[in-house]
Amino acid sequence: MAEELSNLYEELCITEEEKQEVLIPTEEALISIEKSKKCLAAHVVADKEVNRGALRTTMSKVWKVEGQVSFKELGCNKFLVEFQNPLEKNRVLSERPWSFDRYLICLFNCEDCLAPRDIFFNEEPFWVQLHDLPFAGMNRTMGERLGAAAGNVVLVDVDSSGMAWGSFLRVKLILDISKPLTSGRFINLGGKRYWIPFKYERLPLICFHCGAIKHAGLSCPSGNQREGVAPQYGSWLRANSQHRSFQHFSKKRGGIRTLKQLAPK
């Protein structure tokens, strides 16, 4: 919509007067860039309009923010969130994903963002647990390979030797929220085939018909709502919130490797 409006001028006969630019002083632009460092854009992915006051009160508590947080409306269920301190904003970003009333709050970092048209709500990071792996596959390389099948790999939760022996391997992935969640992958190890189920930590409401988060609760555009067809997505995709983590241990020893979106989607 914003793009349509911005491009509309191309078809208009602009008058000489309208061609005159309104000059914005550099200092003003710098002030807005400075302000953007304290701001996030947030989109509550819900099929009903959420109450801004309830959202602000709840999320200020959940985020454990010390100073004030302001929520300004950008559109239906879309808000500009301003923190007093950029460090608090960055902490909230690093501890994603968040949800309100079980609906995902998709966040966008507004740093250096100059206009609402530069804001997109397409992806969100999630910790994903890879279950039933043979011990030989509980390592960083396997996390990178399997994680890349579902999203962009950011971190693999392993110890300083690159291993993570336990009941599952954790991988932090950036997921495209408009696409179906990956429910698992087969691996072939030494000629033996294993099904590796993926479970998502802090998973919000999803569409049980197509497995996407983006239209949770809204009518599904996939056409998968046929009668007699069992839902392909369900609560089995949710991970138990109780999990062990190598993250703290690894941080001290530099064991977590940051891949910074090296893997293909």
- Distance between CA 88 and CA 64 in Å, rounded? 9
Query: Residue 225 or residue 240: which is nearer to Zn ion going by CB?
Result: 225
Selected from 173, 207, 256, 263, the binder of Zn ion by CB under 5 A is 207
The reply to whether 177 sits near Zn ion by the rule CB under 5 A is no
**Please, what sign has the CA dihedral across residues 37, 38, 39, 45?**
positive
Cβ contact 66:60 at 8 Å:
no
Of residues 218-247, those binding Zn ion (CB under 5 A): 220, 222
Instruction: Using the rule CB under 5 A, give the single segment among 56-64, 87-95, 209-217, 236-244 that binds Zn ion.
Output: 209-217
DSSP 227: T
The reply to whether 119 sits near Zn ion by the rule CB under 5 A is no
The reply to whether 45 sits near Zn ion by the rule CB under 5 A is no
The reply to whether 181 sits near Zn ion by the rule CB under 5 A is no
Nearest approach, Cβ of residue 229 and Zn ion (Å): 13
Q: How far apart are the first and last CA of the chain?
A: 27
**Nearest partner of 58 among 18, 11, 10, 99, judged by Cα:** 99
Query: Residue 57 or residue 222: which is nearer to Zn ion going by CB?
Result: 222
Query: Residue 42 or residue 177: which is nearer to Zn ion going by CB?
Result: 177
Selected from 171, 210, 216, 256, the binder of Zn ion by CB under 5 A is 210
- Distance between CA 201 and CA 76 in Å, rounded? 27
Cβ contact 259:153 at 8 Å:
yes
What residues make contact with Zn ion under the rule CB under 5 A?
207, 209-210, 220, 222
